[in-house]
Amino acid sequence: MSGASVQAVVAAGGAEVSRLMDRVEQRMAQLAASHGALLARHAGETITAGGKRLRPLLVCLAAGVPAPEREGLVRAAVAVELIHGATLVHDDVLDGASLRRGRPTVVAAAGRGLATATGDLLFSRAFAELAAGGSVQAVRVLSRASSELATGELMQRADAWRAGVGIERYLERCRLKTAVLFKAACELGALEGGDWVGALGEFGERIGVAFQILDDVLDVSGPPERTGKPRGADLLDGTVTLPLILARGSDQELAALDLRTVRTPELAAGVCERIAATGALTAAKQRALELVREAKLALPELGDRHRAALELVADGVVERYA
Amino acid sequence: MSGASVQAVVAAGGAEVSRLMDRVEQRMAQLAASHGALLARHAGETITAGGKRLRPLLVCLAAGVPAPEREGLVRAAVAVELIHGATLVHDDVLDGASLRRGRPTVVAAAGRGLATATGDLLFSRAFAELAAGGSVQAVRVLSRASSELATGELMQRADAWRAGVGIERYLERCRLKTAVLFKAACELGALEGGDWVGALGEFGERIGVAFQILDDVLDVSGPPERTGKPRGADLLDGTVTLPLILARGSDQELAALDLRTVRTPELAAGVCERIAATGALTAAKQRALELVREAKLALPELGDRHRAALELVADGVVERYA
């Protein structure tokens, strides 16, 4: 989602959402400063470094437009972003990634030990934040999502280098590793708003899968200067995504490719070119757009402003670098 | 704590505690089987592999003797053990440990990626378990403890190889990396039991620090065939513990020692001998015994059987391989 689309969504959400998002930032900064030098340095940098705050925004919007300006909503939004931050820190440990959002990753700056503990701390703080807000139902939603995120990560590791991964399994992985947190964000917001928990959860899940598909398209299409990582990073990790799955259907050489032989960024870039040449990127993006369309169609009967804001978010997740 | 002391404590807790601990095992086995092949293999092995279940036992005992045989108590006990399991899996990732409780560690069997995700899954399942039980207060207790555990781990990493670590900082580290979970176990049990949350929390914290001190003594004293790890493993990790801190006061050569030069198990064993020769192991163990004595003295006015069972646990934590 581009910075401009985020701004458009915040504008559509009105002054309440804008103020809530300011409070989310303030609370994140408070948390970053509250654990002494150790957290201030590592977790603190992670949680204040930003990103688009898309998940907190979903929490606020799911609560309604105009959104109820409640502390519980701020805490739920912060909790979701902390879980997101924790998974990023741990993913970077696993991938040995050196840059994230243009800054050194925790693992690059501080080593595996501190980075793993930093991720654990962010996880724990997320539940502390939510529990301080007061609803055990909210804790259930977030702990289920965070279990599923870990299961998704396990699934991705188990699937690594396996050529036979099909579309169904790929989509289930998208759901587990990404969409469940979008779903939880919507459910947590809806719990605070008092309505539509189930329907908005489904909305979140659909746009979450679309978000992940687009992420996987961008990994193949680049450009690196926009995505912040070299093309084909997934291929180098052995992660089979939708563009490759689709491209294999029409390119015999790709169908026969052993991913373990794709060992250098140059080789990966070459495979990306081949995938793009089959038209698989357009087809994959089409799939994401369909999910977004379905998500919007299935929205329940909300007020006009509420619906408009959610539709903007849905469009936004597939408009990155369009 | 030896297996025999655990059995004595369970006996002192009576048939209710015995039945509760059976239910804890059943629930752990259920959880191990509930996540499909991935969790069954890694997290499942972790949570069914055992250990003494000291923390679940504390949860049950803190609730009273006879203990109330409630589902919430079983879930709280399981949640605490899951958090403990998560930290073990992540610690093994950090240390690259190959054996735990005589079996291959998750990181040794499945690699860093799967092990990190497995730990995350156990963390998440812990909160899911507790939230299913129903009390937001319980979630607060556990999330605070798990934040502190991660802070303790960060502190230990930050202190690694630093000769200047003193007793105060060492004790604070023991509190954060170990005692807070003993404390949480007692608080969660007391919440279910309905009384003495604060006092039993303090009891748990004191015996938790004593437990960690004894652990650190055993790292220096061995014998490896009882502790399951080579003598001086902490020294090889750069972790400064009480025996070394005390020994430095009376041995100039130890005081001048640069831990980074202690690179082999043979060198570490030599340093262990030097530490033992100063009498520091006896002094450190004395400190643990004092904490246990204080913990018992500060117990509130409980029924006789309740007090007796808790006193047995307190004695047990410093009686390992005595």
Contacts of residue B128 in chain A, CB cutoff 8 Å?
140, 143-144, 147
Inspect the interface and report whether the beta carbons of A147 and B87 lie closer than 8 Å: no
Return the closest-CA partner of residue B16 out of B80, B59, B79. B59
Q: What residues of chain A score a pLDDT lower than 70?
A: 35-41, 43-44, 48-50, 101, 321-322
Inspect the interface and report whether the beta carbons of A116 and B93 lie closer than 8 Å: yes
- Chain A residue with minimum CA distance to B137: A131
> What pairs with residue A104 in β-bridges?
A99
Write out residues 268-307 of B within 8 Å (CB-CB) of A: none
B-interface mutation test, from A34, A147, A148, A162, most B Cβ less than 10 A away? A147
SS3 A211: helix
> What pairs with residue B99 in β-bridges?
B104
Is the previous residue joined to B68 through a cis bond, with omega within 30 degrees of 0? no
ipTM: 0.86
Burial of A166 (0-12, 13-18, 19+ CB in 10 A): exposed
In our burial notation (b when 16+ CB lie closer than 10 A, e otherwise), range A182-202 reads bbbbbbbbbbbbeebbebbbb
What pLDDT is recorded for position B112? 79
What pLDDT is recorded for position A322? 42
A-interface mutation test, from B90, B137, B154, most A Cβ less than 10 A away? B154
Inspect the interface and report whether the beta carbons of A154 and B111 lie closer than 8 Å: no
- Chain A residue with minimum CA distance to B139: A131
Task: Let me know: does A281 contact A221? Beta carbons within 8 Å.
Answer: yes
What pLDDT is recorded for position B38? 62
In our burial notation (b when 16+ CB lie closer than 10 A, e otherwise), range B131-154 reads bbbbbbebbbbbbbbbbbbbbbbb
User: Is the CB of B38 inside 8 Å of chain A's CB atoms?
Assistant: yes
Residue positions counted in chain B: 322
A-interface mutation test, from B127, B153, B161, most A Cβ less than 10 A away? B127
Inspect the interface and report whether the beta carbons of B135 and A136 lie closer than 8 Å: yes
- A94-100's contacts with Cβ under 8 Å and 24+ in sequence apart are A94/A153, A94/A157, A94/B112, A94/B113, A94/B116, A94/B117, A95/A237, A99/A228, A99/A229, A100/A49, A100/A228
Contacts of residue B130 in chain A, CB cutoff 8 Å?
139
B-interface mutation test, from A89, A154, A155, A177, most B Cβ less than 10 A away? A154
What pLDDT is recorded for position B177? 93
Among B111, B118, B143, the residue with its CB nearest the CB of A124 is B143
The sign of the CA dihedral B113, B110, A155, A273 is positive
Task: Let me know: does B247 contact B254? Beta carbons within 8 Å.
Answer: yes
Least confident of A2-11, A222-231, B64-73, B277-286: A222-231
Task: Let me know: does A296 contact A204? Beta carbons within 8 Å.
Answer: no
What pLDDT is recorded for position B322? 42
Least confident of A51-60, B4-13, B16-25, B57-66: B4-13
Among B111, B143, B153, the residue with its CB nearest the CB of A127 is B143
Least confident of A110-114, A140-144, B250-254, B282-286: A110-114
- pLDDT by residue (tens digit) across B137-193? 999 999 999 999 988 988 888 888 888 899 999 999 999 999 999 999 999 999 999
Return the closest-CA partner of residue B227 out of B40, B100, B95, B50. B100
Token pair for B262: 């202690």
Q: Using the 8-state DSSP alphabet, how is residue A67 labeled? A: P
Closest Cα in chain A, distance from residue B218 (Å):
24
User: Is the CB of B149 inside 8 Å of chain A's CB atoms?
Assistant: yes
The number of angstroms, rounded, from the C-alpha of B107 to the middle of its chain's C-alpha atoms is 20
Inspect the interface and report whether the beta carbons of A123 and B123 lie closer than 8 Å: yes
B-interface mutation test, from A136, A142, A149, most B Cβ less than 10 A away? A136
In angstroms, what CA-CA distances link B91 with A185, B88, B149? 30, 5, 11
Closest Cα in chain B, distance from residue A107 (Å):
12
Q: Which residue has the tokens 């990560």?
A: A153
Task: Let me know: does A216 contact A206? Beta carbons within 8 Å.
Answer: no
| B271-295 mean pLDDT | 97
The number of angstroms, rounded, from the C-alpha of A192 to the middle of its chain's C-alpha atoms is 22
User: Is the CB of A153 inside 8 Å of chain B's CB atoms?
Assistant: yes
Q: How many CB atoms lie within 10 A of CB B307?
A: 15
What pLDDT is recorded for position A249? 93
Please report which confidence band the pLDDT of residue B303 belongs to, taking 50, 70 and 90 as the band edges: very high
Inspect the interface and report whether the beta carbons of B124 and A90 lie closer than 8 Å: no
Inspect the interface and report whether the beta carbons of A116 and B120 lie closer than 8 Å: no
Among B117, B139, B157, the residue with its CB nearest the CB of A154 is B117
Q: Which residue has the tokens 């998208």?
A: A174
The mean pLDDT value of chain B amounts to 90
In angstroms, what CA-CA distances link A73 with A77, B187, B228, B240? 6, 28, 48, 43
What pLDDT is recorded for position A321? 56
In angstroms, what CA-CA distances link B168 with B9, B173, B175, B218, B252? 31, 9, 11, 20, 21
The widest CA-to-CA distance across chain B, in whole angstroms, is 56
Q: Which residue has the tokens 């679309």?
A: A210
User: Is the CB of A175 inside 8 Å of chain B's CB atoms?
Assistant: no
User: Is the CB of A53 inside 8 Å of chain B's CB atoms?
Assistant: no
Closest Cα in chain B, distance from residue A304 (Å):
35
Alpha-carbon span A191 to A195, nearest angstrom? 7
> What pairs with residue B100 in β-bridges?
B103
Inspect the interface and report whether the beta carbons of A87 and B121 lie closer than 8 Å: no
The number of C-beta contacts closer than 8 angstroms across A and B is: 144
Give every CB contact of residue A194 below 8 A, 6+ residues apart in sequence.
Answer: none
Contacts of residue A44 in chain B, CB cutoff 8 Å?
none
What pLDDT is recorded for position A50? 64
Domains of chain A from N-terminus onward: 1-134 (1.10.600.10), 135-180+194-302 (1.10.600.10)
